Chain A
Amino acid sequence: MNKIMYLEFERCIGCRSCQAACRECGGHDAKERNYVEYVDFFESRQTYPMLCMQCKDPACARVCPANAIQITEDGVVLSAMEEKCIGCRNCTFGCPFGIPKFDFEENKMYKCDMCYDRTQHDIAPMCASVCPSDAIRFIDFDEMQALRRRRTQMNLIEGKKPTEQDKWQYVPEFFGVYSD
C-alpha cells in the first residue's frame, strides 16, 4: 500500500455517507464498521468520523486469546477470522478508540479492515472515496505533507477556523507578517 488514510475531523458535515459506503465493502455483510458522532448537538452541528487507526501494535489483536485478529503485511488490522473468533469481546474493550463492534447474532466481532479488498490495490476505501467533504481521504504521503504545511500556513494568514478569521487576533505584537 502506497497511500495514507488522512482524517480532518472538522471538515465533517455529518452526512454519514462514510457509514452507508462502509456497508458496501466486499465481505462487510451490510454492516458498517465506522462511527460518526455529534460533538454536542445542543451546542452545534459539528460531527466527526471515527474509524480504525490500524494501530502499529494493536491492542485488539494483543488481547485476543484466540489469535483471531490478523495483521496483513502492510499493517492492516483485519476483522477476526470467523473460524477462530470465540466471541469473548476482549477486543471491543481493549481498543482505545472503541472500534471493534460485536455481532451478537453471529457471535463474532467485526471491525474496519480499511477495505482491504480495495486498498491492497491502492484503490481508496469506500468511506474515503465517497466522503463529500474530504474529511476522510486516501492520498499520497507527499500530498499529506503538503496539506499539513498548508494548514499551518493558512492558520498564520487567515486565523483559525471557526472564528471570524481576523488574522491580527492571532499574531502577537512582537511578530510582523507581510500581507496586503
Chain B
Amino acid sequence: MTQFLAKEGVKNLHREGEKLITTHCCYCGMQCGMHIRLNEKTGKVVGVEPRYDWPVTLGKMCPKGVTAYQTVDHEERITTPLIKKNGQFVKASWDEALDLIEKNFKELQSKHGKDALSVYGGVSMTNEKCYLVGKYARVGLGTRFVDYNGRFCMSSAAGGFMKTLGTDRGSTLPWTELEHTDCFFISGWNAAECLPTSIQWLWKARDKGAKMIVADPRETQIARLADVHLDLKSGTDSALANGMLHIIIRDGYVDEEYVNERCNNYDELKELVKTFTPEYTSQLTGVSVEKIEKAATIYGKSPRSVVMFCRGIEQQRKGVDNVCTYTSMALLRGQIGKFASGVSTVTGQGNGQGGREHGQKADALPGYRKIADPEHVKYVAGVWGIQPEEMPKAGVSAFEMFDEIQNGNIRAMHVMCSNPAVSAPNTEYVWDSFRKLDFMVVSDFFMSETAEFADVILPATTWAEDEGTTTNLEGRVIRIRKVKDPIGESKTDWEIMKAIAERMGKGSFFPYENVPQIWEEFRLASKGGKADYYGITYDRIDKEDGVFWPCPSEDHPGTPTMFKEKFDTPNGKANLATVAWQEPAEVPSANYPHTLTTGRVVFHYLSGTQTRRVKFLMEQCPLPYAELHPELASQYNLVNGDKIKLTTPRSSMVLDVRLTKAIRNDHVFVPYHWGKELSVNQLTNPALDPTSRMPEIKVCAVKIEKA
C-alpha cells in the first residue's frame, strides 16, 4: 500500500531511517507528484522529496506543494471531537459527539421533514469520499439538499462543456502534449500563481516558437511574456470571444470541413457574431482594435492551438456563456479531438474534476448521471440497494442553500472539506445563515472560519492519512497513498459519514471496512455513465501513470484525447455558442465608479485554512492587499502602503495599497484567501449564472476612499 515507486534509473535522495511514500500534492488540480518523507522511528512526516518520474510535473512543485507536508503533524490540528457549550468548544468523545448529532438530526427530521438536513461537500478530497458524500446525504440522511464548493469553482466550465461538447472533461487533451502546440489562447487564468507547475509546459512550447495570447485585466507573469496581452475589462469575456469569432470567420480561418461535419449552429453563430466587429468588441472590452486583430490573426493562422481558461471567465453570472464562446473558438478552428490541440479549463481544486462527476452536485448522480432521468436513478438506486422511489429529488446549488436556511427550510447542515465562510460571495449573508441554523456539524482538521460557527466539530484527517484516488485537471485518475495513521482521534471523512449513517439507522448501506471497498462500489456506480471509471483499477494507475476516463472496461486503454470521432451530444455534433452580449450584473456607476476583481496569490490555496497555517507561506504573504494602477491611485492621492477603504453595495473593508502598472487603470484587485474582516468576499456579488449557479465573484462595482 505504501511502497516507494520511483521508476528504475530515477535517482532520489533517500536518507537513512526514512521512508519515501509516493503520492501527489493535496492542493490544486495539477496534482504534482511528490514523495513524502516519513521518519521510520518517530512515524512523523519530516519533509518532501521531488518525484522526478511523474510525467505531468517532473518533480516540480510550487511553494504550497513543497510545504504541504507541514500541515500533517501541525500543532493546530483538531485531534478530538469538539462540542460547543456556552459559546466555547470543549473536547468530547466520539460517542458524545455522535449522540448529539443523532439526537439533533433525528429531532429536526421528525419535526420538519427529511429535507431539514443538508450536506455541503467539497472536492479537495478523493473520488472515494466525494462519491460517498452524495450517497451519505441521499441514503444516509435521506435529504435532497446536498451540494458542494465546486459551485464556486468548476460548475460554469462543467455547464459550458456539457452544452457545447456533451461531456465535461476539463481538458480534451493530455497536458503532456501541450509542448507541441503552436498557439495558446489563454483567458482568465493566472497560470504562474494558480497552477505554477503548468508553466513548464507553456514555456516548453514557447521555446519551440509557440505563440501565446493572454486575456486578463492584469498583466500577470504570463501576460507579460505573451505575444499579445488582451487587457480586457473584467466581465467582458463573451464579447471578446465573439469578437475573435467574428475575425476568424471574416478572414477565412474557419476549418469549414470540420465545422460542417462536426458542429451544429454554424449559421446562427455567423449571424450572431456579425455585429461583433473589432470596433464594437473594443468598445465593450476596452481592448484596442489592433490587439484584437493581431490576436485573432495569430490564433487563426496557427495550425495547432489550445484554448485555455480558468475562474476568471467562469466566476461570472454568464460563466457558462463565456465557456461556450471560448470553446467555439476551438471548434471553428477544428481543433478539438486532435493532437496537441483542443480546449481546457484549468481545474482549481485537487480533485475538482473527479469530485464534480459523482453525485455531490444537487442534481447529479455518479458517472455524470442526472436525478431528473428515471433510468439513471434506477441504475444508481440498484447499486446502492435502495428503491428508485426512495431517491430524493434534486436539491439546490451551494449558494441557494443559504437562501433555504434563511427561509427556514434547511435547519441543519453538515459541512465537509469546505470553508464557505470565506469562499462564498457576500459572506455576511452566509455568516448570518450559519447563525440561523438549529444545528451545524463541521468536519475539518483545522479550525476554519466555518468550523467556528459549528455546534459540533468532527476531527477529519489530512490527505496524507488516507488513501484513494483523485482525477487531475487532465482527467487522469491517479493515486493518493496513505503516509501514516491519523493523528489523535481524527477519522477519515468516509469513516465519519459511515458513523453518522449508522446512527441514522442506515449502517447497512455503508458496510465499508477500507477504501478499496468504496472504490469497487464507486467503479460500478460510474459504470455506463459519461464519466465511466469502471475499467480503472489501482494496479492500472500504478502501472500506467494514471488512467484517463472514460474507461469502460479493464481492457480499455482509457481516453487521453476526447472527442476524436464524435461529440457526446445527442446528434454527435458540437453545439456552437450563440451568445448575445450581456453586461456584468453590476457595472461602474456614479456611486461605485470602478471595478473590483478578486483572485489568488501563489502562496495560498482557496480559503487559506491550510496555507495560512504554514510558516513559509505566511512570511511571504501574510495579509490581503489592494492592487491598483498608480494612475487610479493618484486620483485619490494614494501612495504605496496607504490604507484604502473599498465599498460595494454589500459591505466595505480596509486594505493596504500596492501600486503597479501591471493592472488596468480602472480595476482594483484583491486576493481572497482570508477570513472575517480580511475577506474580500464580504464585498463580492452573489449574482448567479442561470445554468451553473456560479456566483459573479470576479466582477463588481466598487467605491474607493482613502482610509
> Hey, which bits of chain A sit against chain B, CB under 8 A?
10-11, 13-17, 19-21, 23-24, 26, 41-46, 117-118, 121-124, 126, 129-134, 150, 154, 157-158, 161-162, 164-165
Cα–Cα distance between A10 and B48 once the two chains are bound (Å): 27
Chain B residue contacts of A134, Cβ below 8 A: 200, 203
Assess A122 versus B602: contact at CB under 8 Å? Given A44-B219, A45-B219: no
Chain B residue contacts of A46, Cβ below 8 A: 221, 224
Render B1-40 as a binary contact track against A, CB cut-off 8 A, 1 for contact: 0000000000111010000000000000000000000000
Q: Is the CB of B661 within 8 A of A17?
A: no
Count of inter-chain pairs, beta carbons less than 8 A: 118
Cα–Cα distance between A45 and B225 once the two chains are bound (Å): 10
Closest to A46 in B: B224
Chain A residue contacts of B603, Cβ below 8 A: 16
Q: Does B66 contact A (CB under 8 A)?
A: yes
State which of B50, B211, B222, B602 has its C-beta within 8 Å of the C-beta of A15.
B602
Q: Is the CB of A13 within 8 A of B12?
A: no
Assess A44 versus B224: contact at CB under 8 Å? Given A13-B192, A14-B192, A14-B602: yes
State the 6 A-B residue pairs at the shortest beta-carbon distance, nearest first. A13-B192, A20-B63, A132-B196, A20-B66, A129-B50, A132-B197
Render B52-63 as a binary contact track against A, CB cut-off 8 A, 1 for contact: 100000011111
Chain A residue contacts of B59, Cβ below 8 A: 124, 129-130
Render B196-219 as a binary contact track against A, CB cut-off 8 A, 1 for contact: 111110010001010100000001
Chain B residue contacts of A23, Cβ below 8 A: 616
Closest to A159 in B: B227
Q: Is the CB of A42 within 8 A of B200?
A: no
Closest to B37 in A: A24
Q: Does B662 contact A (CB under 8 A)?
A: yes
Cα–Cα distance between A157 and B602 once the two chains are bound (Å): 33
Q: Is the CB of A17 within 8 A of B196?
A: yes
Chain A residue contacts of B211, Cβ below 8 A: 165
User: A165 to nearest B CB, angstroms?
Assistant: 5
Cα–Cα distance between A44 and B219 once the two chains are bound (Å): 8
Q: Is the CB of B47 within 8 A of A24?
A: yes
Cα–Cα distance between A165 and B203 once the two chains are bound (Å): 15
**Chain A contact residues: helix, strand, loop or mixed:** loop
In this complex, the member of A21, A126, A150 whose beta carbon has the largest number of chain B beta carbons within 10 angstroms is A21
Q: Is the CB of A157 within 8 A of B209?
A: yes
Cα–Cα distance between A21 and B227 once the two chains are bound (Å): 32
Cα–Cα distance between A114 and B269 once the two chains are bound (Å): 57
Q: Is the CB of B13 within 8 A of A121?
A: yes
Q: Does B630 contact A (CB under 8 A)?
A: yes
Interface size on B, residues (CB 8 A): 47
Q: Is the CB of B616 within 8 A of A41?
A: no
Q: Is the CB of A117 within 8 A of B13?
A: yes
Q: Is the CB of B225 within 8 A of A162?
A: yes
Q: Is the CB of A123 within 8 A of B12?
A: yes
State which of A26, A118, A130 has its C-beta within 8 Å of the C-beta of B66.
A130
Q: Is the CB of B61 within 8 A of A17?
A: yes
Q: Is the CB of B196 within 8 A of A15?
A: yes
Assess A122 versus B11: contact at CB under 8 Å? Given A19-B63, A23-B616, A129-B52: yes
Closest to B212 in A: A165
User: B647 to nearest A CB, angstroms?
Assistant: 26
Q: Does B67 contact A (CB under 8 A)?
A: yes
Chain A residue contacts of B198, Cβ below 8 A: 132
Q: Does B634 contact A (CB under 8 A)?
A: no
User: B658 to nearest A CB, angstroms?
Assistant: 8
Q: Is the CB of A16 within 8 A of B200?
A: no
Cα–Cα distance between A131 and B62 once the two chains are bound (Å): 7
Cα–Cα distance between A132 and B221 once the two chains are bound (Å): 13
Chain B residue contacts of A164, Cβ below 8 A: 227-228, 294
User: B247 to nearest A CB, angstroms?
Assistant: 17
Q: Is the CB of B13 within 8 A of A161?
A: no
Cα–Cα distance between A13 and B660 once the two chains are bound (Å): 16
In this complex, the member of A20, A23, A154 whose beta carbon has the largest number of chain B beta carbons within 10 angstroms is A20
Cα–Cα distance between A122 and B221 once the two chains are bound (Å): 31
Cα–Cα distance between A126 and B224 once the two chains are bound (Å): 27
Cα–Cα distance between A3 and B12 once the two chains are bound (Å): 15
Q: Is the CB of A21 within 8 A of B224?
A: no
Q: Is the CB of A43 within 8 A of B61?
A: no
Q: Is the CB of A132 within 8 A of B199?
A: yes
Assess A45 versus B620: contact at CB under 8 Å? Given A130-B50, A132-B196: no
Cα–Cα distance between A165 and B658 once the two chains are bound (Å): 31
Cα–Cα distance between A131 and B209 once the two chains are bound (Å): 22
Assess A17 versus B66: contact at CB under 8 Å? Given A132-B61, A164-B227: yes
Chain A residue contacts of B182, Cβ below 8 A: none
Chain B residue contacts of A123, Cβ below 8 A: 11-13
New contact pairs (12) apart from A13-B192, A134-B203, CB-CB < 8 Å? A13-B193, A14-B221, A15-B62, A20-B67, A21-B66, A23-B616, A43-B662, A123-B12, A129-B59, A130-B60, A130-B62, A132-B200
Closest to B211 in A: A165
